Amino acid sequence: MEISSQLRNEGKKSFCRERLLMEWNDKRGQKMKQESGMMAMAIGMILFSTSCMLLEKQEIPVTAYPEAERELPAQASIAAGTEQDMEGTKQYAEDGTLTYWQGENLTGPLENDPEFLQLQQENADGGIAMAFVRHYADQLKLKNPADELRLSSVQTDELGMTHVRVRQRYEGIPVWGAEMIVHLNPANQVYLMEGQYIPTPTEIETEPALTPLDAMNRAALHLGKGTCTGCETELMIYPESPGRGPCLAYRVRIRPSLTEGWNYFIDARTGGILNRYSTVQTSNSQPSIPPIE
């Protein structure tokens, strides 16, 4: 009887111990789950913050098209203002030319013209671009786009967008650094025009007073060289000259040595040096030369 009572007491104690142990394990498991959830949440917040910071720092290219072959002059006009109207977003240079024009369909007003519709049907990208420029010639400050602009290249990318490059000329003489790019969507509608050019020049003398040899000698003298061996010249319209605006000029390409190269712009009427810049990428290899007078 006494033994039986002792066994019952021991059984109760064992049951209580097991019950307490089970309750403790349950509470411990719940606590670990809570801690694990809080840890996962903290890690998630850290990863989210990090990804946001990386996205803020990421630089997205605005344009993926090839650069123009020619370097623009140092005095080139910068954007003077931006406006947005029914025709889209426009950005102007200081001389009033349009350097950027974006809209959903900039050639919409031309689509009532059967000739323009024919150009679209024939995928005549160059003709579409020129028709666009002619239609907006007054806004673009061009008097005769057909004579002033020459088709340079036409490229279609993997998205079906076509990019038409035209370069500016004046009376057959190229304007330095003046290029316009007209962008077409797959429906052959112009959605973007960008570039840098000058208003149609007026009262520019197109007959040089200097010979190409005179211009080469002027550049060589400024560099302290006796001759201009291997130099090349090209007659062009330089966009800006001090106090006169665009003027006739020679571009002289001079390469005195393997580590030295220059582009000089010589006024074709007066012989004055309008500008010059190095054609060698490593600036530390260039000797010091006198400033432009």
Q: What is the pLDDT of residues 236-259, one digit of tens each?
A: 999 987 677 899 999 999 987 778
3 state DSSP class of 91: strand
pLDDT of residue 291: 47
Compute the half-sphere exposure of residue 61: CA atoms within 13 Å on the CB side of its CA.
4
> What is the reported pLDDT for 269?
94
Looking at the whole model, is its pTM more than 0.75? no
Alpha helices in 136-265 (DSSP H): 137-140, 145-148, 212-223
In the three-class reduction of DSSP (H, G, I as helix; E, B as strand; rest coil), residue 253 is classed as strand
Residue 286: per-residue pLDDT: 47
pLDDT tens digits, one per residue of 266-286: 999 999 999 998 888 765 544
* CA dist., res. 184 & res. 162, Å (int): 5
The answer for residues whose C-beta is within 8 angstroms of residue 195's C-beta and 6 or more apart is 99, 178, 179, 180, 181
Q: Is 281 helix (H, G, I), strand (E, B) or coil?
A: coil
pLDDT tens-digit series, residues 37-59:
555 555 555 454 444 444 343 43
pLDDT value for 55: 39
Q: Which of 165, 148, 242, 250 is nearest to 201 (CA)?
A: 148
**What is the reported pLDDT for 31?**
53
Read off φ and ψ for residue 129, nearest 5 degrees.
-60, -45
Distance between CA atoms of 167 and 181, rounded to whole angstroms?
9
- Under CATH, what is the fold of the domain 212-285? Nuclear Transport Factor 2; Chain: A, (3.10.450)
pLDDT in tens, 129-149: 999 999 999 999 999 999 999
Question: What does pLDDT average to over the chain?
Answer: 78
Per residue in 150-173, pLDDT tens? 999 999 999 999 999 999 999 999
pLDDT at 27 over 90: no
The predicted pLDDT at position 242 comes to 67
User: What's the length of the chain?
Assistant: 293
